[in-house]
């Protein structure tokens, strides 16, 4: 066909070349109903709809990010996400599961070969984590457009994966002190590889300014970890189970002690999570602001005004939101179940009553209810994601100018993608 | 809908997809498609409705629309106007949320329905795919599985094997084996373990505990328990539950979109916790047949059930023990009734008194 676009280009004057673009967040409406719809559909389609639901959520969140009032466009599809999952499931999870199983069966779960195999797997997964992170980012960027111009990530996922891997090994060795340097290094690889059309992003941050906030965080965290055992035992009385070990025979903990141990461990983990979230907020805020300030494209740089309090509030309120959503969903489903039970009446009741004595019905139904509750925790995840993204975007400013007319689409932009082995692994399975 | 061509009613911004520049345009609905006009009406673009796409499905909340056109890849048109979005949804109904969702959901709803019908069919016909797969396992695999299970369940515990006690076990197994079909042989291990327990592992291996033997009132009771575990083995219940656990965890992983890790594992653990009531009944049936063929009375087994049941209910003894024979104890009364309803047949004690004494002390340290 002819290109009438050409004529429009000639006839209409470009909109303010070299503008100072305005970044804004237009909070998406109808996300709660979308969340509930996705949750219900996930059950009705035995889980498969998840990928399509996730994709629609992304479309809505991307659309809420506005540059010059014009939305980002997400062009990925649910089918792509599903295919990515099948690839990972088929070529990684299933073979690994079978191999682990076979090794354990033929050499014994505690044999040297089995342990070596497990260790090797763990290292391989650690190595692949970085590759997967990079490829997922590449996938998402390649499906992101603004004014029809696609973003991309042009580097090598192996390079990123390797850096991710060896610096990860150094985290325990350095007692965590490599973390700011590591985060900066990984962010530099990603940002320097990022393109909008043919225009490159650049990253100029050094890790030095992050060490002040990190040191504060590290010292407070160590102090807390030292106090944690005392805190936990003070609040959840620890059973006196080690007294028996003096006889030389290991005595399995009694069930009532077991419950206490489980509660204690979960309480400790919860406490750890909350305190980590609080203490790390200053460091995280400092990092976001530092990285933003040193990210550039064309004549633009970014400026973030996120605050520790803001990050904390988003995390806490999102958590409460997810719990509230799970409570409502579980209660609703329980009520529906009870209603059906009552309607079905004596027939169903006696059929089940034969096999389950009345005093056990609570126990039998309790486990599915707990499972359901944990599943339902994910129901309002789209709302939480939108709130987090909204917080970051509405506290991000673009400084300087962008010559939009000079930003060109990259050559391969409109080539049909998704073919060939390399693309087959640009998947977003995380 | 009211098509108006002149002048196009809405303000929009057009990008050609070659650079990130945008141009102010006017946009309207023409009978042939979306009309996009720059400076000159002569250069109008027409985008037929059927070939349009929007950045997100048009919902009732839409305040704007970002439109693209299949035959002009890269080009995009942004119209920041809710009325435009609603009119566009009318002109191109495939762009609505409802249409997009129907397209995405319909095939999977049918798939899910088909899967459910299949599963219902498997249940209705009482097929057990896990059992069928278990039947295909080579003996080497079953043996390896059994050895690993045995090792992990008895680790750190002494194996009881006074020569006289071993002989008693062999004699008992041999007597029961007369009714075992085919070439199946059982490998029986007694472990020095206070819990009252007995279990079968893959590869026809059976474990009896010291606690079980000490608490038994007669050799007939042990014979009954052993026959029950042989029943599990003959029916391949241990193999089946392993196949089922692996299948379940794979299915859950698939259904949860990979995020099912923990949830899946909890489910798998629950599935492994016990054999189904049906499996227990099958094992009982086989046990009854084995005992009849061996000429061993079933009264010992019912006595044992009654005694264990009382112990369990009174909460006496170790409260955290798991005892396979009693796992589905709500039905214990039923099972006792079924066993007692058996026709009586001529029987002899399961073991000679000397053998029974030897079995009782199989865990004793040989002098
Ligand atoms: Zn059993």
d(CA A254, CA A239): 9
Residues A202-235: pLDDT tens digits? 999 999 999 999 999 999 999 998 888 887 777 6
d(CA A305, CA A310): 10
Q: What is the pLDDT of residue A3?
A: 42
d(CA A297, CA A390): 22
Angle CA B77–B83–B89, to nearest 5: 70
Residues B167-205: pLDDT tens digits? 999 989 988 888 787 778 899 999 888 878 788 888 888
d(CA B44, CA B35): 7
* Gyration radius of chain B over CA positions: 36
> Is residue A420 a part of any domain in this protein?
yes
Confidence of residue A420 (pLDDT cuts 50, 70, 90): very low
Count CB atoms within 10 A of the CB of residue B99: 15
Q: What is the pLDDT of residue A245?
A: 42
Counting every residue written for chain B, the total comes to 367
Residues of B within 8 A of A89 (CB-CB) are 253-254, 258
DSSP H helices, A72-174, are 78-88, 94-107, 112-142, 157-173
In sequence order, the 6+-apart residues with CB closer than 8 A to the CB of B56 are: A56, A59, A60, A63, A74, B66
Is the same domain home to A93 and A195? yes
Q: What is the pLDDT of residue A66?
A: 94
For A152: left if phi > 0, alpha if psi spans -120 to 50, otherwise beta; the answer is beta
> Is residue A60 a part of any domain in this protein?
no
- Inter-chain touch B108–A48, beta carbons under 8 Å: yes
Is the same domain home to A159 and A227? no
Q: What is the pLDDT of residue A369?
A: 76
- Residue A180 confidence (pLDDT) above 90: yes
Q: A177: distance to nearest CA of chain B, Å?
A: 31
d(CA A92, CA A131): 14
Q: Up-side HSE of residue B290: CA atoms within 13 Å toward CB?
A: 29
Tokens of A361: 């019905």
Is the same domain home to A141 and A242? no
Is the same domain home to A183 and A95? yes
Residues of B within 8 A of A356 (CB-CB) are 330
Tokens of A62: 């991307």
Q: Are B3 and B29 spatial neighbours (Cβ–Cβ below 8 Å)?
A: yes
Q: Up-side HSE of residue A406: CA atoms within 13 Å toward CB?
A: 11
> Is residue A76 a part of any domain in this protein?
no
Q: A203: distance to nearest CA of chain B, Å?
A: 22
- Inter-chain touch A45–B148, beta carbons under 8 Å: no
Angle CA A163–A166–A170, to nearest 5: 125
- Residue A274 confidence (pLDDT) above 80: yes
d(CA A152, CA A150): 7
Contact status of A71 with chain B (Cβ, < 8 Å): yes
Tokens of B216: 């038994």
Q: What is the pLDDT of residue A99?
A: 82
Residues A106-147: pLDDT tens digits? 776 667 887 888 888 888 888 888 888 888 888 889 899 999
Tell me the CA distances in angstroms from A66 to A54, A397, B292, one per residue in order.
21, 12, 81
Q: What is the pLDDT of residue A347?
A: 47
Count CB atoms within 10 A of the CB of residue B298: 23
Contact status of A259 with chain B (Cβ, < 8 Å): no
> Is residue A62 a part of any domain in this protein?
no
- Of residues A317 and B329, more confidence is placed in A317
Residues A54-111: pLDDT tens digits? 999 999 999 999 998 999 999 988 888 888 888 877 887 778 877 877 777 777 666 7
Which of A313-317, A421-425, B50-54 has the weakest average pLDDT? A421-425
Is the same domain home to A87 and A169? yes
Smallest Cβ–Cβ distance between B55 and the set A41, A50, A73 belongs to: A73
Annotate A154-196 with DSSP letters as a single string: -S-HHHHHHHHHHHHHHHHHTTTTTHHHHHHHHHHHHHHHEEE
Dihedral sign (CA A226, A227, A231, A234): positive
In sequence order, the 6+-apart residues with CB closer than 8 A to the CB of B218 are: B300, B303, B349, B350, B356
Tally of domains within chain A: 2
Residues A371-414: pLDDT tens digits? 778 888 889 999 999 999 999 999 999 998 888 888 888 766 44
Contact status of A411 with chain B (Cβ, < 8 Å): no
| ipTM value | 0.77
In sequence order, the 6+-apart residues with CB closer than 8 A to the CB of B224 are: B287, B291, B296, B298, B300, B301, B304
> Is residue A376 a part of any domain in this protein?
no
Tokens of A386: 């939108």
Structural domain ending residue among the three candidates A258, A276, A294? A276
Count CB atoms within 10 A of the CB of residue B262: 11
Structural domain ending residue among the three candidates A218, A241, A276? A276
> Is residue A266 a part of any domain in this protein?
yes
Q: How far is the CA of B145 from the centre of ligand 1 (A)?
A: 19
Q: Using a CB cutoff of 5 Å, list residues around ligand 1, an ion.
A: B 280, 283, 324
Q: What is the pLDDT of residue B330?
A: 47
Say whether A96 sits in a helix, a strand or coil.
Answer: helix
> Is residue A407 a part of any domain in this protein?
no
Give the nearest chain B residue to A71 (CA atoms): B66
Annotate B178-217 with DSSP letters as a single string: TT--TT---EEEEE--SS--EEEETTTEEEEEHHHHHH-S
Structural domain ending residue among the three candidates A235, A259, A276? A276
What one-character DSSP code corresponds to residue A89? I
Q: What is the pLDDT of residue A194?
A: 94
Residue B253: enclosing H or E segment and its boundaries?
helix B237-255
Tell me the CA distances in angstroms from B335 to A97, B301, B302, B312, one per residue in order.
39, 10, 8, 16
Q: A218: distance to nearest CA of chain B, Å?
A: 30
pTM over 0.80: no
> Is residue A404 a part of any domain in this protein?
no
Q: Which domain range does residue A237 map to?
A: 206-276
The position carrying tokens 């805020």 is A285
Is the same domain home to A222 and A185? no
Question: A50: closest CA among A38, A65, A62, A63?
Answer: A38
10-residue averages of pLDDT along chain B (367 residues) = 63 90 90 86 86 91 92 91 92 92 90 90 81 85 82 79 90 86 85 83 88 87 90 88 76 61 46 66 88 88 78 50 48 78 83 89 76
Count CB atoms within 10 A of the CB of residue A182: 20
- Residue A289 confidence (pLDDT) above 80: yes
Residue A25: enclosing H or E segment and its boundaries?
strand A23-25
Residues of A within 8 A of B75 (CB-CB) are 5, 148
Question: A13: closest CA among B23, B187, B129, B221?
Answer: B23
Which residues does residue B190 pair with via DSSP β-bridges, in sequence order?
B208
Q: What is the pLDDT of residue A35?
A: 94
Domains of chain B and CATH, by start: 10-95 (2.30.29.30), 129-360 (no CATH)
Is the same domain home to A238 and A182? no
Contact status of A373 with chain B (Cβ, < 8 Å): no
Q: B355: distance to nearest CA of chain A, Å?
A: 32
- Alpha carbon A294 to its chain centroid, in Å, reads 24
Smallest Cβ–Cβ distance between B253 and the set A48, A93, A360 belongs to: A93
Touching B: A residues 116-145, CB under 8 Å: 145
Contact status of B120 with chain A (Cβ, < 8 Å): no
d(CA A348, CA A21): 65
Is the same domain home to A245 and A266? yes
Question: B149: closest CA among B201, B80, B73?
Answer: B201
- Alpha carbon A109 to its chain centroid, in Å, reads 32
């Amino acid at each position: 066909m002819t290109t009438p676009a050409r004529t429009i280009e000639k006839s209409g004057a470009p909109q303010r070349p070299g503008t100072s673009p305005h970044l804004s967040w237009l909070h998406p409406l109808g996300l709660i109903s979308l969340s509930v719809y996705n949750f219900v559909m996930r059950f009705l389609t035995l889980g498969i709809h998840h990928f399509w639901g996730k994709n629609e959520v992304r479309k809505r969140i991307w659309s809420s990010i506005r540059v010059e009032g014009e939305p980002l466009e997400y062009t990925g599809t649910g089918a792509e996400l599903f295919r990515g999952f099948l690839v990972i499931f088929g070529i990684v999870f299933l073979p690994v599961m079978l191999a682990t199983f076979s090794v354990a069966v033929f050499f014994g779960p505690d044999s040297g070969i089995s342990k070596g195999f497990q260790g090797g797997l763990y290292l391989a997964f650690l190595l692949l984590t970085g590759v997967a992170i990079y490829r997922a980012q590449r996938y998402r960027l390649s499906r992101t457009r603004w004014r029809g111009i696609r973003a991309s990530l042009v580097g090598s996922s192996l390079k990123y994966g390797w850096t991710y891997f060896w610096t990860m090994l150094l985290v325990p060795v350095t007692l965590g002190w490599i973390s700011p340097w590591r985060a900066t290094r990984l962010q530099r690889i990603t940002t320097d590889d990022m393109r909008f059309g043919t225009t490159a992003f650049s990253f100029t941050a050094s890790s030095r300014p992050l060490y002040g906030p990190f040191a504060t965080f590290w010292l407070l965290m160590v102090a807390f970890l030292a106090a944690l055992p005392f805190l936990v035992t003070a609040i959840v009385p620890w059973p006196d189970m080690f007294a028996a070990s003096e006889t030389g025979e290991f005595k399995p903990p009694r069930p009532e002690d077991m419950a206490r141990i489980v509660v204690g461990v979960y309480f400790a983990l919860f406490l750890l999570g909350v305190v980590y979230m609080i203490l790390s907020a200053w460091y995280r805020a400092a990092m976001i602001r530092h990285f933003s300030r040193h990210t550039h494209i064309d004549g633009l740089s970014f400026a973030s005004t996120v605050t520790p309090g803001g990050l904390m509030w988003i995390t806490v309120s999102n958590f409460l939101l997810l719990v509230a959503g799970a409570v409502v969903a579980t209660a609703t489903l329980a009520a529906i179940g009870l209603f059906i039970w009552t309607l079905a009446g004596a027939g169903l009741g006696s059929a089940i009553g034969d096999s389950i004595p009345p005093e056990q019905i609570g126990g039998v139904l309790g486990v599915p209810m707990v499972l359901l509750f944990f599943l339902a925790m994910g129901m309002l995840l789209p709302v939480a994601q939108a709130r987090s993204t909204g917080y970051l975007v509405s506290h991000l400013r673009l400084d300087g100018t962008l010559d939009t007319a000079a930003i060109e689409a990259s050559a391969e932009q409109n080539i049909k993608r998704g073919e060939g082995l390399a693309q087959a692994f640009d998947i977003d399975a995380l | 809908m009211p098509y108006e061509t002149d002048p196009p009613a809405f303000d929009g911004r057009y990008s050609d997809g070659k650079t990130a520049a945008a141009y102010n345009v006017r946009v309207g609905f023409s009978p042939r498609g979306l009309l996009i006009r720059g400076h000159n009406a002569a250069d109008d673009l027409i985008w037929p409705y059927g070939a349009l796409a929007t950045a997100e499905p048009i919902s009732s909340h839409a305040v704007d629309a970002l439109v693209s056109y299949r035959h002009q890849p890269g080009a995009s048109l942004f119209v920041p106007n809710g009325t435009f979005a609603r009119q566009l949804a009318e002109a191109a109904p495939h762009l609505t949320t409802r249409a997009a969702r129907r397209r995405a959901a319909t095939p999977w709803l049918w798939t899910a329905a088909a899967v459910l019908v299949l599963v219902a069919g498997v249940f209705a016909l009482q097929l057990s795919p896990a059992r069928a797969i278990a039947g295909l396992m080579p003996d080497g695999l079953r043996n390896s599985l059994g050895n690993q299970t045995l090792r992990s369940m008895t680790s750190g515990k002494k194996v009881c094997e006074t020569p006289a006690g071993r002989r008693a076990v062999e004699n008992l197994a041999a007597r029961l084996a007369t009714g075992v079909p085919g070439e199946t042989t059982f490998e029986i291990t007694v472990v020095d373990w206070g819990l009252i327990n007995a279990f079968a592992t893959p590869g026809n291996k059976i474990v009896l505990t010291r606690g079980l033997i000490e608490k038994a009132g007669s050799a007939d009771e042990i014979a009954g328990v052993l026959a029950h575990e042989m029943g599990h083995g003959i029916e391949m219940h241990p193999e089946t539950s392993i196949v089922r656990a692996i299948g379940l965890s794979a299915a859950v992983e698939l259904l949860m979109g990979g995020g099912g890790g923990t949830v899946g594992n909890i489910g798998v653990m629950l599935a492994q916790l016990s054999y189904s009531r049906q499996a227990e009944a099958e094992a009982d049936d086989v046990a009854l047949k084995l005992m009849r063929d061996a000429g061993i009375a079933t009264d010992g087994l019912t006595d044992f059930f009654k005694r264990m049941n009382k112990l369990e209910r009174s909460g006496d003894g170790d409260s955290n023990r798991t005892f396979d024979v009693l796992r589905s104890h709500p039905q214990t009364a039923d099972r006792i009734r079924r066993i007692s309803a058996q026709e009586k047949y001529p029987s002899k004690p399961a073991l000679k008194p000397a053998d029974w004494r030897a079995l009782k002390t199989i865990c004793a340290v040989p002098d």
